[in-house]
């Protein structure tokens, strides 16, 4: 038999929860600790809770808790289910908490310094309509958490550190103006879906990824990915100031490896990255049409110290395309417009396609020769050495 009892049986403590003015009058701002309470049928609406520590409590309700705000709350070893509203959350911490099922617990806009630490949450099943929902429309930090079938929110600032997620969605609502997102030292298993999203910046480092979808995201600042052990990365952003990927392995999922487009990314720098295997394609192209030219939007596209089986960088329009000390089996740059083309100390072994590509200046003097390489230059002014 459970040792927990309904919160309505907690006497003066219950009165203080329902009447914060009474609490202030009688008890001031002294910390209240509540142990082993059951929150369910008792309603708490349009209130602000402050300076309360909940230990081993169960919160299971549908709209019974609908606060205006919550400040300096601590939840330790608590369990959550149903629809719970803690309003605008300020300095609220969840430690070793858990929940299963279609939970909905989202802090309101303006929430700050909300932290989940060592928590385990799992939605009902793999149907996204049955995911649980957790986080805030403001600032959220997840540390050492394990989530499955969940949608998480941090609409102005989101930190994910030392976590293990499986099939988790992470949209960022553009209505907030964008979120500063940091993901590090984590495992993102299954699908990690960040659509739709608007970022102020996005940093992902030292993280294992099965499949991440960033397609159609808007990034007002910079994207940095480093020290990744990844499967498929869809980085077809709607726009970004820059994209930097370095010191990583992007292995693919058996069908797709990596996608991005210079069309709406001002600077792309890919350094010391090994992509895919055998004949799997890496797509870093698009945005230029030979029928109707668009204004140049890419300052440079650089690959340095990269290993790429098949590179598809066709239809690009860039001020500078740089391949520096790379090993590529097949490379396709057809139908492109390039102001300066630099290929340095690079091996392109089986196929090189510059069909209908025009350059203004080029330096290919250290492009390694390759016996038997198929070279396509029809309609192009590119001059290959030798």
- The per-residue pLDDT for 211 is 97
Tell me what pLDDT residue 289 has: 57
- Residue 230: inside a domain: yes
- pLDDT at residue number 113: 98
Residue 107 lies in a domain: no
pLDDT at 291: 55
377 part of a folded domain? yes
Q: Does residue 136 lie within any of the structural domains?
A: no
* Residue 312 placed within a domain: yes
Domain span at 366: 223-385
In the prediction, which pLDDT does 2 show? 61
How far apart are the C-alpha atoms of 193 and 102, rounded to whole Å? 18
Asked if residue 350 belongs to a domain, the reply is yes
Confidence at residue 210, expressed as pLDDT on a 0 to 100 scale: 97
Which parts of the chain register pLDDT below 50?
A: 1
Residue 13: which H helix or E strand, with range? helix 12-18
The pLDDT score that the predictor gives to residue 383 is: 94
Q: Which of 73, 117, 78 is nearest to 91 (CA)?
A: 73
pTM over 0.75: yes
At 1 the pLDDT is 41
User: What pLDDT is recorded for position 293?
Assistant: 55
On whether residue 76 sits in a domain, the answer given is: no
Q: How many domains does the chain have?
A: 1
DSSP string, 191-253: EEE--S-EEEEEEEEEEEEEEEE-TT-EESSEEEEEEEEEEEEE---SBEEEEEEEEEEE---
Judged on CB neighbours under 10 Å (0-12, 13-18, 19+), 84 is: buried
* Within a domain: 190: no
């Amino acid at each position: 038999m459970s040792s927990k009892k309904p919160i309505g049986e907690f006497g003066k403590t219950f009165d203080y929860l329902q009447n914060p003015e009474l609490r202030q009058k009688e008890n001031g701002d002294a910390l209240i600790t509540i142990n082993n309470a059951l929150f369910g049928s008792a309603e708490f609406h349009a209130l602000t809770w402050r300076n309360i520590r909940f230990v081993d409590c169960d919160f299971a309700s549908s709209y019974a808790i609908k606060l205006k705000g919550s400040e300096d709350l601590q939840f330790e070893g608590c369990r959550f289910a149903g629809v719970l509203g803690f309003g605008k959350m300020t300095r609220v911490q969840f430690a070793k908490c858990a929940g299963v099922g279609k939970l909905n617990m989202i802090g309101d806009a303006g929430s700050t310094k909300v932290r989940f630490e060592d928590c385990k949450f799992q939605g009902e099943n793999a149907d996204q309509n049955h995911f649980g929902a957790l986080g805030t429309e403001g600032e959220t930090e997840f540390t050492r958490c394990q989530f499955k079938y969940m949608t998480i929110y941090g609409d102005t600032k989101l930190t994910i550190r030392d976590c293990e997620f499986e099939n988790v969605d992470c949209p960022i609502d553009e209505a907030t103006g964008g979120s500063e997102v940091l993901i590090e030292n984590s495992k993102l298993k299954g699908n990690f879906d960040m659509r739709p999203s608007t970022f102020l910046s996005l940093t992902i480092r030292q993280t294992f990824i099965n499949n991440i979808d960033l397609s159609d995201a808007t990034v007002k600042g910079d994207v940095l990915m480093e020290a990744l052990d990844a499967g498929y990365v869809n980085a077809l952003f709607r726009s970004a100031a820059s994209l930097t990927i370095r010191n990583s392995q992007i292995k693919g999922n058996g069908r797709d490896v990596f996608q991005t487009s210079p069309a709406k990314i001002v600077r792309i720098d890919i350094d010391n990255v090994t992509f895919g295997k055998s004949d799997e394609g890496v797509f870093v192209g698009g945005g230029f049409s030979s029928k109707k030219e668009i204004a140049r939007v890419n300052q440079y596209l650089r690959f340095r110290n990269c290993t790429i089986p098949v590179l598809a960088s066709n239809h690009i329009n860039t001020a500078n395309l740089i391949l520096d000390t790379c090993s590529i089996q097949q490379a396709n740059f057809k139908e492109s417009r390039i102001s300066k083309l630099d290929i340095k100390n690079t091996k392109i072994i089986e196929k090189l396609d510059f069909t209908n590509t025009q350059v203004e200046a080029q330096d290919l003097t250290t492009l390694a020769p390759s016996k038997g390489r198929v070279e396509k230059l029809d309609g192009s002014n590119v001059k290959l050495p030798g």
